Chain A
Amino acid sequence: MSAVVAEHDDHHDHHDHGPAKGLLRWVITTNHKDIGTLYLVFALAMFFVGGAMAMVIRAELFEPGMQFVNPQFFNSMTTMHALVMVFGAVMPAFVGLANWMIPMMIGAPDMALPRMNNMSFWLLVAGVLLLASTLFMEGGAPAGGWTLYPPLILQTGKALPFAVFAVHLLGISSIMGAINIVATIFNMRAPGMTLMKMPMFVWTWLITGFLLISIMPVFAGSVTMLLTDKFFHTSFFDAAGGGDPVLYQHIFWFFGHPEVYVMILPTFGVASTIIPVFARKPLFGYSSMVYATASIAFLSFIVWAHHMFTVGMPIAGELYFMYATMLIAIPTGVKVFNWTATMWKGSMTFETPMLFSIAFVVLFTMGGFTGLMMSVAPVDFQYHDTYFIVAHFHYTLVPASVFILMAAGYFWLPKWTGHMYDEKIGKLHFWLSVISVNVLFFPQHFLGLAGMPRRIPDYAVQFADWNMISSIGGFIFGASQLLFLYIVIKTIKGGTGEKVTDEVWEEASKHSLEWTLPSPPPYHSFTTPPTVIPTEHI
């Protein structure tokens, strides 16, 4: 009898203090760190899948003429590249960071809703796999662009309902993730951690969480209407039945514009976390950063039709959306000025996370400038749907969101694993990335201004030189990211062998709570709430 009791106790201990054994650990886990790791690993895998699709695109565009793929498959590639990168790589990566960091930053033991956390991850996997399976279906994967505009998207072969259900799953997953994050932030903060003492990363995710909860149902609704138009004889988007194809664009961009801020707000949060640590200074203007983030989030809901300046809106609409869009430059400018002021008169060092963060500030600002140019509706009549916009949003996504994700990786990997990454290879990765990303995307500004439309598989010969340069940049950028994979694996396996301290970075524990925990941190982060709240970041 006593043996049975002892075994029961053992099991009980197990459940409380450590992960399950074996591979099943990763399937059934409800631990915020395990789920964070799953999200990050999955996102990194999808980054390479989406990247491979980008390589197909750049290979076809290397020279004028059609060399490798047929135009239909090319369109599938541009569509799937975007969907995989947005919903499979960038968004999950930030959810992964949120899972890992938010409980540790606010002094909590775990997320508020751990079982839902597990479910939201596995729904994400199901959604992305369903989406990827369309590549092998009769008629090919969706090829109407990631915006899925009707009537074109209704010409998709067998893949349409699968793509729509994939979007539903991804939407449910995102909403559950967002609810969990919001619930955690509101309910699990350590005593004394008032809202205005939260680290910026937590603040930006709180706001992002509300954005996601508001917009994902809208997207689900819009794709459901596509489904009923295709299979149940409704005419939401068909003029012949009294509908309007442009209605879809309004609904889509009401989701789509906040969606791009879903990818950039947590980026701001990480940058605001990293820069002060390496400048050895508090963040300049903490409260104005919080207000600027909230303003950007609010504005994101009222500017959607700037994606549609050429659909033939009445002039009042054009002017309103132009003015509203221009306003975004103000809070965004405030953020850039604040980061600059944070560096000003600091005592800076330039480890890999700081290098990526500085590159983010500079290159994101360049993306911001082109965004400002395109906000001017009449001139957008020229820029719209050319490579100029392709350059613009890639500047705000790749050397911004993706660079900051890399920065976050370098910044927190030592904390997560207890091992130091190889600084030399990290810096090599940075310099290769920052140079090649500009060779890749900067010439696309020229192409767009010179008149090359986006989403074309072949082009007139005057666009040949810049396309070739852009492709070369693309291949180098793609190959450089394999270095990141190597560094991550090497760090997990022991890194440089140097034992990292709890703080990892000089005086980091003055900035945020995660640096007060051991490296690697215990399985349940803060089993008792911390008593001292760091305020250096405020």
Chain B
Amino acid sequence: MKKTKQLFAGLILMAFGLGTAQADYTLNLMKGVTKVSNDLYDLHMLILWICVFIGIGVFGTMFYSIYHHRKSKGHKAEQFHENTTVEIIWTIIPTLILIGMAIPATKAMMELDDVQDSEMSIKVTGHQWKWEYEYLDNGIHFFSSLDEASNKVRQVGSGLDPRSVPNYLLNVDKPLVIPTKKKIRFVFTAKDVIHSWWVPDLGWKKDTIPGFINESWTSVDEPGTYRGQCTELCGKDHGFMPIVVIAMNEPEYNVWVEQQKAAVIAEAGSANKQWSNEELIAKGKAVYETSCASCHMPDGAGLPGTFPALKASPVVTGDINAQVKLVLNGKGMMPAFEKMLSAVDLAAVITYTRNGLGNSVGDSIQPSAIQALQSATPGAGKNE
């Protein structure tokens, strides 16, 4: 069946003379890798076939009539125009079909809704335009944004070939890692606007809404990498905040958890060392490209009317402490980066903006100074 469909689709593609007809495309909903996603696939196929059969019946009748009951064939019009029995029949039969559909649909809905007895919880927060993951059981916490290779290619007029990037627009810098065969509860919220978290292989999507918490759950049987995207329009880079979930067997997952914990300690260590200006600027350039350039633009020119320019900006060329406060706490559409970036990244990117992008203030800030501010009471730097 699948072969036939692909052959058919291939023929259509070839009819259009497309050289890429052999690309990896699909026509139907994916079955996914959870019990729920498989149930939903079956439900989808059931309703699809019901529609196909009704379609064949109705369109078949119509085209029979169009072919045979035409004036050019000399068919004389009959004048019947009302029949209550027929009307009742074609009201009752669809009603019965709908009841037949509603029963499995209700069951699937109940199954999806049941987040009880979960073995671990992950909090997902949507940001413009990245995802934040927080493992509520062991404290692992990180941000996940579009990978660098895709990000370079997707710039307007980059001239680079998307086909040269593996998993173009479906790859991230830090994927979400989950253990297999465990019931995982997700809680969803958002920082700025509404986003929606969708991995087709898991079988559902859920909106992340600022100020509110949504829940859902999954349990993946097979280890593997599963990709998805944000599905609620969330601003200009809505198309560029993918999701990657890696399901690992329990032992490997545990190794990963330990690595994450070790990395946090190492990170704290590097914040304590004294960094040179060159080191900070070099690192800051990379941070700028992944965390700042999408709004303030790669050359720091901003978007007039929406995002301010950094080049010759009074904030960036003014008092460094005021700039640090603004970056840590955010302002208007500018998110608070205090928790999004490490002390090293923050110090580096602030130093870079003051000494790159056409600015040359000449000063710098050390990661340790940022860390001191971060560990102080939250919001301590706010001007209130």
Chain A interface residues (CB < 8 Å from chain B): 64-72, 75, 137-140, 143-145, 149, 151-152, 155, 157-158, 238-240, 244-246, 279-288, 310-312, 315, 318-319, 322-323, 326-327, 329-330, 333-334, 336-337, 340-350, 358, 361-362, 365-366, 369, 372-373, 376-379, 381-382, 384-386, 446, 449-451, 453-466, 468-469, 472, 538
Contact = CB atoms under 8 A, between A and B. Distances in A.
Contact of A155 (B79, B161, B235): B235
Interface in B36-83: 40, 43-44, 47-48, 51, 54-55, 58-59, 61-62, 65-66, 69-72, 75-83
9 contacts: A65-B153, A155-B235, A286-B82, A323-B102, A377-B109, A451-B200, A459-B239, A460-B168, A465-B13
Nearest to A456: B239
Contact of B207 (A145, A312, A449): A312
A454 B238 CA distance: 10
Given A144-B233, A369-B51, A281 B77 contact: yes
Contact of B239 (A71, A283, A318, A346): A71
Contact of B77 (A65, A280, A326, A379): A280
Contacts of B239: 71, 453, 455-459
A259 B193 CA distance: 25
B305 interface: yes
Interface string B128-158: 0000000000000000000000000111111
A449 B44 CA distance: 10
By Cβ-Cβ distance, the 7 closest A-B pairs, closest first, are A239-B211, A456-B239, A138-B305, A312-B214, A282-B81, A139-B305, A381-B204
Contacts of A342: 81
B12, B23, B236, most chain A CB atoms within 10 A: B236
Given A71-B237, A348-B66, A384-B231, A322 B105 contact: yes
Contacts of A466: 25
Nearest to A284: B81
Nearest to B92: A330
Given A70-B236, A282-B81, A469-B13, A343 B194 contact: no
A428 B297 CA distance: 48
A272 to B, nearest CB: 12
B3 interface: no
Contact of A453 (B21, B87, B231): B231
Contacts of B192: 151
A346 B234 contact: no
A315 B109 contact: yes
Contacts of A468: 16, 18
Interface stretch (B26-34, B280-288, B370-378): B26-34
B353 interface: no
Contacts of B232: 385
Contact of B193 (A151, A283, A345, A382): A151
A341 B239 CA distance: 46
A70 B156 contact: yes
Contact of A72 (B54, B155, B230, B306): B306
Interface string B155-184: 111101111000111100000000000000
B139 to A, nearest CB: 25
A69 to B, nearest CB: 7
A66 B168 CA distance: 12
Nearest to B24: A462
Contact of B205 (A310, A344, A361, A463): A310
A383 to B, nearest CB: 8
Nearest to A507: B77
A384 B205 contact: yes
Contacts of B300: none
A282 to B, nearest CB: 4
A336 B23 CA distance: 39
A319 B65 CA distance: 39
Given A143-B236, A450-B30, A373 B47 contact: yes
Contact of A379 (B44, B156, B240, B333): B44
B43, B47, B75, B192, most chain A CB atoms within 10 A: B47
A434 to B, nearest CB: 14
Contacts of B188: 312
A337 B58 contact: yes
A70 B306 CA distance: 14
Interface of B: 9, 12-13, 16, 18, 20-21, 23-30, 40, 43-44, 47-48, 51, 54-55, 58-59, 61-62, 65-66, 69-72, 75-83, 86-87, 90-91, 94-95, 98, 101-102, 105-106, 108-113, 153-158, 160-163, 167-170, 188, 192-194, 196, 198, 200, 203-207, 209-212, 214-215, 228-240, 303-306, 333
B47 A379 contact: yes
B68 to A, nearest CB: 9
A143 B95 CA distance: 41
Given A345-B65, A348-B71, A456 B229 contact: yes
Contacts of A341: 86
A345 B105 contact: no
A152 B154 CA distance: 23
A451 B30 contact: yes
B72 A449 contact: no
A351 to B, nearest CB: 11
B71 A349 contact: yes
Contacts of B169: 64, 458-460
B81 A286 contact: yes
Contact of A65 (B29, B158, B193): B158
Contacts of A318: 109, 113
Nearest to A66: B156
A465 B21 contact: yes
Contacts of B231: 384-386, 453-454
Contact of B112 (A245, A347, A381): A381
Nearest to A506: B71
A357 to B, nearest CB: 12
B109 A285 contact: no
B110 A315 contact: yes
A97 B27 CA distance: 40
A369 B105 contact: no
A369 B77 CA distance: 30
A343 B65 contact: yes
A368 B207 CA distance: 26
Contacts of A538: 81
A381 to B, nearest CB: 4
Contacts of A238: 211
A463 B167 CA distance: 12
Nearest to B110: A315
Nearest to B332: A155
B72 to A, nearest CB: 7
A493 B376 CA distance: 79
B156 A245 contact: no
Given A66-B155, A330-B98, A381 B40 contact: yes
Contact of B58 (A281, A365, A456): A365
Nearest to A326: B98
A460 B91 contact: no
Contact of A381 (B20, B205, B209, B236): B205
A461 B168 contact: yes
A68, A149, A365, A458, most chain B CB atoms within 10 A: A458
Contacts of A462: 23-26
Contacts of A350: 66, 70
